[in-house]
Chain A
Amino acid sequence: MKKKIRAALGLALIAGAAAAYFSASESTRRYIKHLGRQVPYLPYRYLI
């Protein structure tokens, strides 16, 4: 039961984020995309 609730919450979160992303202005979407692409680099950047 707990697992199902967690999965549903996760899905709702993803759906909410997707809805917020697609309803945002073009400028905001570009900004999120630009920053999102850099997330994998952050541990390296923090360390150097």
Chain B
Amino acid sequence: MYDYDAIVIGAGLGGLSSAAILQKNGFRTLVCENTGQVGGCCSSMDVQGYRFDIGASIVEMSFVIDELFAKLGKRTSDYIDFMPIDPIYGFVTEDGEKFSYPVDVNGTREVIARFSEEDARNWDRFVKVGSEAINKAFGQVMAKPMYTLKDMMKVAMTSPALVKYLPYMIKNFEMVLTSFFKDEKVRSSMSLQSYFLGLPPALCPGYVVFLAYSEHEGIFYPRGGMIGIPQGIARAFEDFGGEIRFNTRVRKVLTEGKRVTGVELADGTKLTSRIVVSDINARTLYLDLIGRENIPSWAAKAMETFPVSIPAPMIMLGLDTEPDLPGHHTFCYTNLKEMNRIWFEDYLNGRIPSGGFMLISWPSHADPSMAPEGHHCLNLVTFAPYKLAEGDWDSIKERYLEDTLDMMERYFHLNLRDHITVARVNTPYDLERQLLHPCGAVYGLQNDFFSTAMFRPRMRSRVFQGLYLAGASVHLGGGVPTTVGSGVCVGGLVEEDFG
């Protein structure tokens, strides 16, 4: 007799989504969470009256969350209070110009026309192609397993539009973007999305460009912070009778022959189950929790071929004034070339990017309850290497904060120094310690064309029967819809195998 039917390691979005489906389908499920709260990279933390998001800052393609709740026989709105965000992005360029793209595609067209009439016409074409690409092709595969050639064929048969968009999958982000837009300012304003996969425009798969359209179908922020999403899913899971244990670290996944048999906790407690779902980094799962000595050598070699994604250090600022920013999300940028340069010249050489771009998230703009009355909170997100050529993150924390504030002043003419009441830096080391992401890699494994879908670790393990993987390391990589989608897939796979 097993202690549980299923044990889920990690209460991130992938883990909770799969847990909720399993529990609903009659599997007695336990979620073991290392920290004191749900969400992993989609959560929030309270600091001196301010609430800051950790990791994810917005939701797009929310239909995947609706699909999850539909599978649970529930309505999303009963569990998560989503607020629509408009404009989608504000922009601050290095010459100090500020503008924003509204959700309305015609409104965005008018903004683009100010820079280039030709690109305003190109925007119409982009909207037409993007709408079909998202709704008939890429959006269709969010919650469908695609880790074998057979799966890929099946998906192509059910979503034939995918075949039509194959060239966008083979080309890189920059090639697709520049095939649509000619004006440098317009191109650069739509290049941020490549870093949503943790890659520069030159290395990111081309289909990601269409995220710049998908956002115009609506982006949302959950009331109470990004943690509202995992909290909503956790509540649904608990409504079905599921159990979450906080501050419970799994030290080992127990195996017997080619089967998983449960987990061992950090305090030595052994819990048995016939199913284990991992929502942690797949490298950590196979190489550490199961152990290199317990897996075939080809599996260890396979896991070693995956580099982890770029870390995203974050600076959280509490302000005693309203910042002069165009919207919930502000993208400060110089140009497309610079966004590649920071990867090839800075990141790969262990240097913290000296300029280029930054994403500022302003949660209290959408939800004033995120900060004390009259105050505001900001999250400044950049990308930087884990291993630094000089020094380490613990010793340069203060300097990093100062340098980032300098960069905001120098490049983007944003001076916040006099209004800062709280400043906290979340370095890649902090993310590694808090969330157990190796190298602070919030996107899990690197996510380029040859490490996605069927070239990413399988959600149904081939190494051990009863072992399933969800989260940013599998399926389509990091992000709110993709990790929720991975959980939905795992729920379906377990049902196929054990239902």
Of B449, B450, B462, the contact of A48 (CB 8 Å cutoff):
B462
List 6 A–B pairs whose Cβ atoms lie within 8 Å, in order of A's numbering: A34-B203, A38-B450, A44-B301, A44-B305, A48-B286, A48-B462
Given A27-B340, A41-B305, A48–B451 Cβ distance below 8 Å? no
* Least CB separation from A41: chain B residue: B305
B455 at the interface (CB under 8 A from A): yes
Q: When chains A and B are docked, how far (Å) is the Cα of A45 from the Cα of B450?
A: 9
Q: How far is the CB of B115 from chain A (nearest CB, A)?
A: 22
A1-29 near B? 1/0 per residue, CB < 8 Å: 00000000000000000000000011110
Q: How far is the CB of B457 from chain A (nearest CB, A)?
A: 5
Of A30, A42, A44, the contact of B202 (CB 8 Å cutoff):
A30
Q: How far is the CB of A47 from chain B (nearest CB, A)?
A: 6
**Complex contact A48–B202 (CB within 8 A):** no
Residues on the A chain within 8 Å of B305, using CB: 38, 41, 44-45
* Least CB separation from A45: chain B residue: B455
Given A30-B203, A35-B448, A44–B298 Cβ distance below 8 Å? yes
Most buried by A among B305, B344, B449, B456: B305
Q: How far is the CB of B471 from chain A (nearest CB, A)?
A: 15
**Complex contact A35–B450 (CB within 8 A):** yes
Residues on the B chain within 8 Å of A42, using CB: 450, 455
Of A34, A35, A45, the contact of B302 (CB 8 Å cutoff):
A45
* Least CB separation from A26: chain B residue: B202
Of A26, A27, A47, the contact of B462 (CB 8 Å cutoff):
A47
Q: When chains A and B are docked, how far (Å) is the Cα of A46 from the Cα of B448?
A: 14
Q: Which residues 440-483 in B have Cβ within 8 Å of A in the complex?
A: 448-451, 454-458, 462-463
Main secondary structure of the interface of A (DSSP, over half): helix
**Complex contact B303–A48 (CB within 8 A):** yes
B363 at the interface (CB under 8 A from A): no
On B, residues with C-beta under 8 Å from A are 171-172, 174-175, 201-203, 286, 298-299, 301-303, 305-306, 340, 344, 448-451, 454-458, 462-463
Q: How far is the CB of A30 from chain B (nearest CB, A)?
A: 5
**Complex contact B299–A34 (CB within 8 A):** no
Residues on the B chain within 8 Å of A38, using CB: 305, 448, 450-451
- Contacts A41-B305, A48-B458 given; 6 further ones with Cβ under 8 A? A31-B172, A35-B449, A39-B450, A41-B450, A44-B298, A45-B451
Q: When chains A and B are docked, how far (Å) is the Cα of A48 from the Cα of B301?
A: 10
Q: When chains A and B are docked, how far (Å) is the Cα of A27 from the Cα of B302?
A: 28
Q: When chains A and B are docked, how far (Å) is the Cα of A32 from the Cα of B337?
A: 18
Q: How far is the CB of B204 from chain A (nearest CB, A)?
A: 9
* Least CB separation from A40: chain B residue: B305
Given A31-B202, A31-B203, A46–B172 Cβ distance below 8 Å? no
Residues on the A chain within 8 Å of B455, using CB: 42, 45-46
Q: When chains A and B are docked, how far (Å) is the Cα of A30 from the Cα of B448?
A: 13
Given A28-B175, A31-B172, A31-B203, A47–B298 Cβ distance below 8 Å? yes
Q: When chains A and B are docked, how far (Å) is the Cα of A6 from the Cα of B286?
A: 45
Residues on the A chain within 8 Å of B462, using CB: 47-48
* Least CB separation from A35: chain B residue: B450
**Complex contact A30–B344 (CB within 8 A):** yes
Q: How far is the CB of A20 from chain B (nearest CB, A)?
A: 14
Q: How far is the CB of A43 from chain B (nearest CB, A)?
A: 9
